[in-house]
Every structure is written in structure tokens, then in C-alpha cells.
Amino acid sequence: MIVALIDSGLGLLPTSAWLRRLRPDLDLMLSLDPDGAPWGPRDEQWVIDRVVGSARLAVDSGAGVVVLPCNTASVTALDHVRAELGPEVPVIGTVPAIKPAAAMCDSVAIWATAATTASAYQAKLVEQFANGSSVVGVACHGLADAIDRGDLDGAREAIASAADRTPVDVTGIVLGCTHYPLVADEIVTQLRDDVVLFDSAEAVAAQTLRRIDALGRDSTGNGTVEVILSGSRGVLPASAASFDAGRLLLTSTR
């Protein structure tokens, strides 16, 4: 079975890598959009059309499951993708791990892009899942862009800036952009030892496998990785090799 993962850039790598670790036989289709990236600042209808189009192309190319490991795609286009593909194709979205963070920590910071930090979407999630914990948003200016470029020095600078602007009483940090787990080790080095990171990549991968199992069909594959770049066959950007998850997937790319 082919699982398609759709994001504008390298934010799909953490969930893809978890799927590779948990089910190395699965065939993965990684659909990136370098021509349209980043999606965050784009008009809502433009994003819907782009994501729905990518999902339709993936299914028409053989994908049996679609994953949106991208907060922008999930909040903007998830319902539209499900309507386009119908109930026979599982579509899994991504939600920042605010609920588990708030369950464990009294004071939480959500690190995200500037657009997500200012969004009604994030405010609604905080309202739903804060559960009495103090939650603050911290905009990580330039971090996702640096990750997409494979610019580790730029990523360190963006992380340092975000760490400086995170309140001292915070004990839990939610990685509210799917790019950020790629530099989780660097983030940890710039935080106090008692601060815990939360991200959703492993949970999204696990949910994907549950949905696959619920189909009751043979999902055994050959462990291949196919890359689609803005609708055409391609290869993962060279910047993917800067990260453990990218190197793991590059070894299987065809």
C-alpha cells in the first residue's frame, strides 16, 4: 500500500520517518511543493486548491492513504481533501500536541511560525485543550525557512531567539510546526533540563497505521520512497540530508 504524505516542504519528514521506522515495508509517496512554498502566507482558497490537487494526484497515482503532516494544510484543507477523496480513502491530519503538553505541564509554550502563532486556529486549540494550564505562543521567526534550506546555523539562531523569548516558568514546549522536530536535538540543547518537548509526528504515524489496519486489506509493500515535487516526479531536496529523518528516507528513495 502506498501512503502519500503532503506538505509544502520538509515538514513531512518527521512523520514519514516514523512510518519508515514503524512499518519499513510501507511504500511512501512524499509530495512536496517547492513551486508554491511556503503555504502559510498564501490565500486560503489557494492552499485548499493546492492541497486538494496534490491529494487527488497522489490517489490517482496509486496512494491508498493520504496524510497531511502540515498544520497549514490540516487546518485549511483537511475537510476539503476528505470530501474530494471520499470515505474509502483515509485522510489523516495533524494537530499540535497541546493536549498532552497541558496534561503534564502547568506552563506551556507553543513554538510555531509567526502566522500560526497569530492565527484563530491556534487560539481555538488553546481554548479547547489548555485544561487550566498557562499557554503562550512564541513565534519562531525564520526557523522553518532555515530548515527547508538545510541551514543549521540559521536554525540555531532562530532557536536561540525563540528560547530567549520563552517565559522562564515554561516547563513544556509544543513544537507547533511540523518542520521543528527535525532540529529537536538542537532545541533541547538551548533549553533548561526540566523543559519537555512535545510534537505530534509519532502520534500521526501511529494513527495512520491504525487507519491502515482498519481497512482490513493487505498493506505490505516494498519499502520504496517516491518523491513528487509540485506535481512531477523528482528527488528529495539536498537539504533533507542535513537531518536524520531525511537521511533515513534518502536511503530508500527511488
- Domain definitions of the chain by residue range: 2-94+201-250, 98-198
Residue 216 clears pLDDT 90, i.e. is over it:
yes
State the DSSP H helix or E strand holding residue 32, giving kind and residue range, or none if neither.
strand 27-32
d(CA 66, CA 80): 13
Q: Give percent above pLDDT 90 in the chain.
A: 93
pLDDT tens by residue, 38-84 = 998 899 999 999 999 999 999 999 999 999 999 999 989 999 999 99
The residue to which cell 537539504 is assigned: 239
Mean pLDDT of 80-109: 97
E-strand stretches of 102-230:
107-112, 134-139, 172-175, 196-198, 225-229
d(CA 149, CA 240): 9
Residues 6+ apart with CB under 8 A from 95: 71, 74, 125, 200
- C-alpha grid cell, residue 118: 497569530
Residue 254 clears pLDDT 80, i.e. is over it:
no
Domain covering 98-198 in this structure, CATH number: 3.40.50.1860
**Domains 2-94+201-250 and 98-198 alike in fold:** yes
> Catalytic residues, which ones?
70, 177
Specify the pLDDT at position 187: 98
- Sign of the CA dihedral running 217, 27, 90, 178: positive
Residue 252 clears pLDDT 80, i.e. is over it:
no
Using 50, 70 and 90 to split pLDDT, how confident is the model at 124?
A: very high
The mean of the pLDDT values for the chain is 96
pTM: 0.95
pLDDT tens by residue, 161-175 = 999 999 999 999 999
* Pairing between β-strand 232-234 and β-strand 107-112 as defined by DSSP bridges: unpaired
Residue 115 clears pLDDT 90, i.e. is over it:
no
CATH class of residue range 2-94+201-250: alpha beta
Q: Nearest-5° angle of CA 47, CA 203, CA 72?
A: 15
Specify the pLDDT at position 41: 86
d(CA 215, CA 217): 5
Residue 253 clears pLDDT 80, i.e. is over it:
no
Residue 26 clears pLDDT 70, i.e. is over it:
yes
Sheet of 27-32, strands arranged across: 91-92, 63-67, 2-6, 27-32, 225-229, 232-234
d(CA 149, CA 198): 24
